[in-house]
């Protein structure tokens, strides 16, 4: 723990207590693929100024700190929330993409991809080394490219809505690794253009009063099966706010109720609450309201019944995705990574570097089987 204390300016005993309290956990599986890293630990939960997902790395010749993603608060109403938060400032509407957050960083000679929880993922790292030119890090060695990883070949959030067959990265923030200070929106756009990086789409810039334009953007995103919007201050001096579409809320509910044993009440309830406030603010007529109710009810019941039927057939409830690897060695490392996460899984190797990943949802399966065999609900 000596290097943790040194990197974070803590006493050795304080650093040791972090480990004893399970706040510090391993950030990776040691392997030659991670050749630049001697040790790496992540924050399992927030500690002082350090966000959950903060990673501390001991490299061959340096210590690195990469701060976790700051929490982004959610607007349930556009009015008056946006005006109250941003005041007279211009508000940038950036698409909130449906994938998983990664911080792409450079350690030693190579790029590494860190997930929201602070794990250095071998699959995402392999993709980052192929798709991201490290020229940016020659000019900004201690910065993080904060990206959304999206596509069909995703181990965490597979989606075909963007027409991406494998996995790609879309930049939404550029931040100093140690301080977490972001560059401005204009600086981010310049960086993306200079280093040939794809941007999460900046859809519009409006006044904080222009609720009609915001709603117009959100309704279009909803029709196109998109996730939502992040509202940002152009200078990035204020914290962003996020807002999700009805499509995204109901997609989350379909997922959560399919695997209801793995997901908590708060996750499910929060999505229903978002739907209620959106329906209220959009002043839906009876037909629109009834259609929302039908979609919402279907999102809750249909996936649960699918899971019940699967267990009745004697199957395990699982999530399936197809991944694409460049290197057989990384497939084996990814298996070790999933074991570090405690995932119950199987991987079937197909062809051309493709594998089929099945993640088994044991808690949901066990609960349904118990009920089908006569056990009462707790």
Host domain of residue 308 = 245-312
pLDDT band at 2; cut points 50, 70, 90: confident
pLDDT score of 1: 66
Residue 299 shares a structural domain with residue 252: yes
Residue 327 lies in a domain: yes
Shared domain check, 367 and 323? yes
Dist. CA 47–CA 54, nearest whole Å: 9
Q: Is residue 197 part of a domain?
A: no
Sign of the alpha-carbon torsion through 108, 111, 112, 116: positive
Shared domain check, 300 and 256 = yes
Number of independent structural domains in the chain? 2
- 376 vs 17 pLDDT, higher one: 376
The rounded percent of the chain whose pLDDT value lies above 90 is 92
Whether the CB-CB separation of 342 and 359 falls below 8 Å is answered with no
Contacts of 376 (CB under 8 A, 6+ apart): none
Is the per-residue pLDDT at 211 higher than 90?
yes
**Assigned domain for 352 exists:** yes
| pLDDT at residue number 60 | 86
pLDDT over 80 (residue 35): yes
Residue-by-residue DSSP string for 271-283: HHHHHHHHHHHTT
Q: Quick one: which of 280, 252, 287, 277 has its CA closest to 266?
A: 252
- pLDDT, one tens digit per residue, over 169-194 is 999 999 999 999 999 999 999 999 99
Tell me, what's the pLDDT at 48?
87
Last residue of a domain, one of 312, 339, 357: 312
**In terms of C-beta density within 10 A (0-12 exposed, 13-18 middle, 19 or more buried), how is residue 270 classed?**
middle
What residues have CB less than 8 Å from 283, skipping those under 6 apart? none
CATH classification of the domain holding 304? 1.20.58.2250
Q: pLDDT tens for residues 331-355?
A: 999 999 999 999 999 999 998 899 9
One domain for residues 339 and 324: yes
Q: Do 356 and 324 fall into the same domain?
A: yes
206 vs 55: CA distance, rounded Å = 36
Domain boundary among 312, 333, 363: 312
Answer positive or negative: Cα dihedral of 182, 188, 191, 195. positive
């Amino acid at each position: 723990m000596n290097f943790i204390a040194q990197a974070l300016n803590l006493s050795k005993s304080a650093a040791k207590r972090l480990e004893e309290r399970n706040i510090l956990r391993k950030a990776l599986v040691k392997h030659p693929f991670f050749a630049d890293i001697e040790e790496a630990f992540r924050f399992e939960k927030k500690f002082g100024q350090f966000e959950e997902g903060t990673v501390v790395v001991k490299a061959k010749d340096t210590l690195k700190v990469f701060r976790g993603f700051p929490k982004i608060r959610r607007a349930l109403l556009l009015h008056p929330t946006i005006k109250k938060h941003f005041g007279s400032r211009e508000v940038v509407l950036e698409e909130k993409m449906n994938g998983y957050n990664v911080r792409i960083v450079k350690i030693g000679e190579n790029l590494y991809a860190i997930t929201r929880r602070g794990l250095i993922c071998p699959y995402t790292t392999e993709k980052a080394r192929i798709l991201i030119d490290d020229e940016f890090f020659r000019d900004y060695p201690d910065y993080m490219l904060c990206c959304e990883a999206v596509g069909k070949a995703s181990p965490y959030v597979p989606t075909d809505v963007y027409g991406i067959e494998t996995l790609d990265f879309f930049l939404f923030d550029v931040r100093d690794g140690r301080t977490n200070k972001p560059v401005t929106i204009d600086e981010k756009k310049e960086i993306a253009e200079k280093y040939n990086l794809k941007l999460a789409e900046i859809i519009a810039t409006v006044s904080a009063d222009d609720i009609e334009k915001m709603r117009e953007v959100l309704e279009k995103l909803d029709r196109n099966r998109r996730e939502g919007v992040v509202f940002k201050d152009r200078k990035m001096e204020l914290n962003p706010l996020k807002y999700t579409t009805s499509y995204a809320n109901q997609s989350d509910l379909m997922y959560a109720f399919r695997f209801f044993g793995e997901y908590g009440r708060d996750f499910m309830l929060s999505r229903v609450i978002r739907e209620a406030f959106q329906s209220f603010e959009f002043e839906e007529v009876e037909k629109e309201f009834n259609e929302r109710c039908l979609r919402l009810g279907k999102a809750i019941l249909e996936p649960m019944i699918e899971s019940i039927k699967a267990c009745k057939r004697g199957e395990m409830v699982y999530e399936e995705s197809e991944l694409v690897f460049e290197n057989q060695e990384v497939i084996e490392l990814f298996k070790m990574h999933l074991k570090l996460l405690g995932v119950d899984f199987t991987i079937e190797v197909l062809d051309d570097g493709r594998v089929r990943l099945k993640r088994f949802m044991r808690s949901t399966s066990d609960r349904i089987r118990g009920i089908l065999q006569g056990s009462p609900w707790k």
